[in-house]
Amino acid sequence: MTKPKIHTMKELSRAISISRPTLARYFEDETSVLPSTAKKIKDRLSEVDYVYNFLATRQNRKSTDLIGVVVPHFEDLFFASLLGSIETAARAAGFTIITQSSHGDAESEEKAIRKLRSMNVDGAIIAPLGSNKNLEIFKAANEDFPIIFADSYPGTDSSTADFVGTDNSSSVGIMVDYLCRTGEPPVFLAMPQLTSNALERQNAYFQQMEKQGHHARLVETPEGMELWEFEQYGLEVMGNHFSHGRHVTDTILCANDRIAIGAIRAANTHGLFFDQDGKTHGALRIAGHDDHPLSRFIFPAVTTVKQEINEIGRGTVELLLKRIREGRQGDSIKILRDGALIIRESA
Amino acid sequence: MTKPKIHTMKELSRAISISRPTLARYFEDETSVLPSTAKKIKDRLSEVDYVYNFLATRQNRKSTDLIGVVVPHFEDLFFASLLGSIETAARAAGFTIITQSSHGDAESEEKAIRKLRSMNVDGAIIAPLGSNKNLEIFKAANEDFPIIFADSYPGTDSSTADFVGTDNSSSVGIMVDYLCRTGEPPVFLAMPQLTSNALERQNAYFQQMEKQGHHARLVETPEGMELWEFEQYGLEVMGNHFSHGRHVTDTILCANDRIAIGAIRAANTHGLFFDQDGKTHGALRIAGHDDHPLSRFIFPAVTTVKQEINEIGRGTVELLLKRIREGRQGDSIKILRDGALIIRESA
């Protein structure tokens, strides 16, 4: 015997004699009704052929309960962790996330934003590329729904954007201060200029070195290495310096841990970290920034500044929900989190 | 002057005198119309207030052009890379992915599946947890839309599922064979039993060792360490063995690279990898499986078997699209890919 086909929640309510509001709550979130009610509904649903239609229920509402998330790459544990914490916070608030990668490419980023607009998301959290190319796209999208920028700013002008991220001047400052207190002042190995963090962290390094009365120096980097493969970047740049005996210093501060991991690999292959007895002699120091999940498993483990990724993820969702509820009147809101110094073995 | 508000594509077609089919194609994918047409549409759109409604257009169709993707964790570069390749392939085919993490938890996995059903996805790609808990849930969902399992099987029975992943018996076999040919036969450090790969790789190790006429041995692992933090697992298990001088062998095959990275960290902290002169003496050998993106930056770099993640990602999307087009009649389809031996420094 085939089950009776039921098309609308109204029909369903009549067929299994459960009130529509209760059914609606149940389909949104089973845990929002009494367990006994949930069980009763489940049992009776098994006797009919009905599929709850999320899109249909959203169609006649202002809200889709969808949040768009765009990151430059999934294949970066920083963004993957950010995505994880955003998804957890969004789900807890009853939202579903639509995730798009911009694949580090401005055109893909534009496509991703257009997709989010076409899906009528209630809001979006975007970890943007550094380029200025999509500022107009963001502006246009921002007229449809609130956008919170996470981790970095689009382009260079941060004035109008809602933002949640790390206070680079504080986090880099802490590390420069630590390195200067405990040894030779650091030379800075900058990130490829792919996001606003690259310039912010470099400037933060210059400011703190000046404050400490030290001469700031950048590690020379070859042209045309605007890689997202940061470990490879750190490995090639420092490998090149080490193999020419040109390591201008014994203390290198890398703009992020992925670069530091590559630089540490380069130092290890040149035997620069270990004495004859296999212990680090402590002359060469390489520090990073972010506290990448694998940094403590590298040998020597990476001394770094921890970014509170989970706090940043939760913070972006909270701020976005506030904007969705209250609209975007008033000034932009910036939530800058401090980093925490984590001293391990590499510096 | 405020722009005229336009609600339907029909009104829009009249207002800016572009045919509806052309507009429909444009909104689905700008690149599907002539650049000149796209520009004309863009210009005229700027003079009206119209927002294309993805949900509305999907409402009256059988297809939503949505593909659901569920992975155990975003914060694992294997799954993050898989997600990236799936998103790229799906986007190229005109589909949007709805990404959910099961956070390594059967209940979250069930919630994720229910969400995908409620959103009427056209199909789903699932990297499932090993537990048998959700077999019924998968079965029920599979009546609404095709499901392709990626990387591992749900529970233990793989007979009925469409599947794309690595042929563990071949990939582990290659590594066991290499290790036996080049030195002492390996002891196996298994994965926590969190997915079907854990048992499959362990069995593959036993089979190959028997085939080679060697005695198979597992590294003892403490109870209650069913961690997803595989590096931590490898570090603790091997750190414990090394600190008790109980490393039963000089050749350890780890069930995946993340475990190997932890084990290599443990060996380095015990000075087991390097001679007085800082070179690897080659006595201790630690190998992995997967070719984790960071494996080549570890020191010593991890000798491993490469899983073709991009091929697996593209393959799951291709198979899913076939199932969406042709339905699910006929036997289940399994696509098993071989791994490729990658010899680096650690073994």
Summarised one tens digit per residue, pLDDT across range B88-126 is: 999 899 898 989 999 999 999 998 998 898 888 999 999
Round to whole Å and give the CA distance between B257 and B299. Answer: 13
Q: What is the pLDDT of residues B158-205, one digit of tens each?
A: 677 899 999 999 999 999 999 999 999 999 999 998 999 999 999 999
Segment among A78-82, A134-138, B293-297, B340-344 with least mean pLDDT:
A134-138
**Closest chain B residue to A268 measured between Cα atoms?**
B299
Chain B residue with minimal CA distance to A259? B297
Cβ–Cβ pairs < 8 A, chains A and B: 138
Closest residue to A274, CB basis, from B51, B83, B278: B278
Cβ within 8 Å, pair A297-B54? no
> Distance (Å) from the C-alpha of residue A156 to the closest C-alpha of chain B?
26
Mean pLDDT of A264-283: 74
Q: What percent of chain B has pLDDT over 70?
A: 92
A77 and B80 within 8 Å at the Cβ level: the answer is yes
- At B207 the pLDDT is 97
Amino acid B118: pLDDT = 83
Average pLDDT, chain A: 88
Q: What residues in A contact B72, CB-CB < 8 Å?
A: none
Q: Do A80 and B77 touch (CB under 8 A)?
A: yes
CB contact under 8 A, A297 and B120: no
Whether the per-residue pLDDT at B309 is higher than 90: the answer is yes
Q: In this predicted model, which residue has the larger pLDDT, A32 or B103? A: B103
* Assigned CATH for A66-166+310-336: 3.40.50.2300
% helix, strand, coil for chain A, step of 5: 45, 15, 40
- Using a CB-CB cut-off of 8 Å, the residues of chain A touching B301 are 265
Rounded to two decimals, the pTM is 0.85
Q: What is the pLDDT of residue A130?
A: 87
Average pLDDT over residues A6-24: 85
ipTM of the complex: 0.84
Residue B328's pLDDT band (cuts 50, 70, 90): confident
pLDDT score recorded for residue B281:
57
How many CA atoms lie within 13 Å of A325's alpha carbon, on the beta-carbon side? 7
- Which CATH homologous superfamily contains domain B168-306? Response regulator (3.40.50.2300)
More confident residue, B252 or A250: B252
CA–CA distance, A183 with A336 (Å, rounded to integer): 29
Q: Is the separation of the CB atoms in A291 and A257 below 8 Å?
A: yes
Q: Which of B74, B88, B233, B268 to mutate to test the interface with A (most CBs of A within 10 A)?
A: B74
Residue type (1 letter), A80: A
Q: pLDDT value at position B56?
A: 63
Please provide the size of chain B in residues.
347
Which candidate from A59, A119, A299 shows the least CB-CB separation from B268?
A299
B168-306 and B66-166+310-336 share a CATH fold: yes
Q: What is the pLDDT of residue B275?
A: 58
Spell out which residues of chain A touch residue B297, defining contact as CB-CB under 8 Å.
231, 235, 261-262, 265
Q: Which two tokens stand for residue B346?
A: 């650690």
Q: Which of B58, B235, B293 minimises the CB distance to A75? A: B293
CB contact under 8 A, B120 and A54: yes
Question: Which residues are within 8 A (CB) of B75 and not within 5 positions of it... i.e. 6 or more apart?
Answer: A77, A80, A81, A84, A293
| B80/A293 Cβ within 8 A | no
The beta-strand segments (E) located in A282-342 are 285-287, 304-306, 334-337, 340-342
Q: Where are the domains of chain B?
A: 9-52, 66-166+310-336, 168-306
How remote is the C-alpha of A150 from its chain's centroid? 6
Closest partner residue to B55 (CB to CB) among A52, A55, A77 is A55
- Among B99, B111, B280, most A C-beta atoms within 10 A, so best to mutate, is B99
Residue A275 has pLDDT above 80, yes or no: no
| B59/A55 touch (CB, cutoff 8 Å), yes or no | yes
**Alpha-carbon span A299 to B304, nearest angstrom:** 19
**Cα distance between residue B94 and residue B57, in whole Å:** 14
Residue-level pLDDT at A31: 78
Instruction: Tell me if B55 and A120 make a contact (CB, 8 A cut-off).
Output: yes
Residue of A97, A98, A231 lying closest to B297 (CB–CB): A231
CB contact under 8 A, A298 and B298: yes
pLDDT above 70 covers a percentage of chain A that reads 92
Backbone angles phi, psi at B343, to 5 degrees: -90, 120
| pLDDT on residue B143 | 86
- Nearest-CA distance from A119 to chain B in Å? 5
Q: Which residues of B touch A265 (CB under 8 A)?
A: 297-299, 301
Q: Check residue A58 and give its pLDDT.
A: 58
Q: Are A137 and A110 in contact (CB under 8 A)?
A: yes
Q: Identify which of B160, B338, B47, B28 has the alpha carbon closest to the alpha carbon of residue A111.
A: B28
Closest CB to A119 among B54, B83, B101: B54
Contact B51 A144 (CB under 8 A): yes
**A113-168 confidence digits (pLDDT tens):** 988 988 889 999 999 998 888 998 898 888 889 999 999 988 766 677 899 999 99
Q: Answer yes or no: do A80 and B84 touch at CB < 8 A.
A: no
**Residues in chain B closer than 8 A to A76 (CB atoms):** 80
